[in-house]
Chain A
Amino acid sequence: MIELIISILLLIGGAFVLVGSIGLVKMPDFFMRLHGPTKATTLGMASLLIAAMIFFSTKQAGVSVNEILISLFLLLTAPISGYMMIKSAIHHKLDSIERTKGTENIEDDV
């Protein structure tokens, strides 16, 4: 029974991480590419880590909770790395695809 739950969680996690990577390949421009890795992977990693937590709690003596820390750090670092990448993309004036609305909202930085 527990193995079934772990397997389902692993499958969900793997599927979301895969979708994030597909987004990275499939999207037409840099700004749209960023959406996959910053979001779709956080849930994927979360369910993978929950699966790991259940697995090690049942196989070893005592509960294993280190994995909560990993997901906490992931939640903290994902938006920051996304922000740094998009900031440098704006600084380098990377082209976005033509139908992008509101490009006039971007202000020139020095």
Chain B
Amino acid sequence: MRLETRFKWLPAPFLSLLLFFVWLLLNNSASAGHIVLAIVLAIGIPLVTSPFATKQPLIIKPGLAFRHLMLVLYDIITANVQVAVLILGPNKKLTPGFVKVPLDLTHSMPITILASTVSLTPGTVSAEVYPLRECIIEDNDLEQRFLLIHVLDLKDEQALINTIKQRYEAPLKEIFQC
């Protein structure tokens, strides 16, 4: 896990990239003037705001992150079809349930991403992260955390936990190296 970037003037490289593209997309143009303005904003905004933000782990493996994003997008499409079938089918067949997934991730940023992907993928909505803490003082302590998820149609609890851990958590661990 690395919290500091190599360049002082670029505290959050992926935020900068995102700001650059969002600015161009907002204006719906790629003219020279807008590109220059986008570069100025993409470098300026993270420089000004980074002192306020808590340090988050950086993406160490961008290639893997991109592949993981594609996998998640594909899963979102299949999830939509699966949930549509479940919704249109008879209610009585559904066996909802709460499942506690033990997490290997410790940092809040990767856990947020994991919780969001779980919410968007087949039949699961993330509900809570345990242990509950109102004010997190030190974010990088090695306490075991759990993700509570609600499943629309729970068949095999252990298989579901294994899928989430292998399919979504393992790549995140590698992307952030933590």
Contacts and interface: CB of A to CB of B under 8 A. Distances in A.
A86 B137 CA distance: 25
A78 B148 contact: no
Interface string B27-54: 0100000000000000000000000000
B89 to A, nearest CB: 10
A100 to B, nearest CB: 5
B105 interface: no
Given A26-B87, A100-B98, A39 B128 contact: no
A19 B99 CA distance: 25
B126 interface: yes
Interface residues of B, number: 39
Contact of B83 (A40, A99, A107): A40
Interface size class of A (residues with CB under 8 A): 35 or more
B91 interface: yes
A100 B97 contact: yes
Contact of A65 (B28, B96, B100, B119): B28
Contact of B98 (A26, A65, A68, A102): A102
Contact of A87 (B76, B83, B100, B128): B128
**Chain A at the B interface: SS class:** helix
A102 B97 contact: yes
B164 interface: no
A15 B26 CA distance: 28
Interface of A: 16, 19-20, 22-23, 26-29, 31-32, 34-36, 38-40, 42-44, 62, 64-66, 68-69, 75-76, 78-80, 82-83, 86-87, 90, 96-97, 99-103, 105-107, 109-110
Interface of B: 22, 25-26, 28, 76-77, 79-81, 83-84, 86-88, 91, 94-100, 115-117, 119-120, 123, 125-128, 130, 132, 148, 150, 152, 154, 157
28 contacts: A22-B88, A23-B83, A27-B91, A28-B91, A29-B96, A32-B94, A32-B96, A36-B83, A36-B87, A39-B76, A39-B120, A64-B28, A65-B25, A66-B28, A68-B25, A79-B115, A79-B119, A79-B126, A82-B125, A83-B125, A96-B96, A97-B96, A99-B95, A100-B96, A103-B98, A105-B100, A105-B148, A106-B148
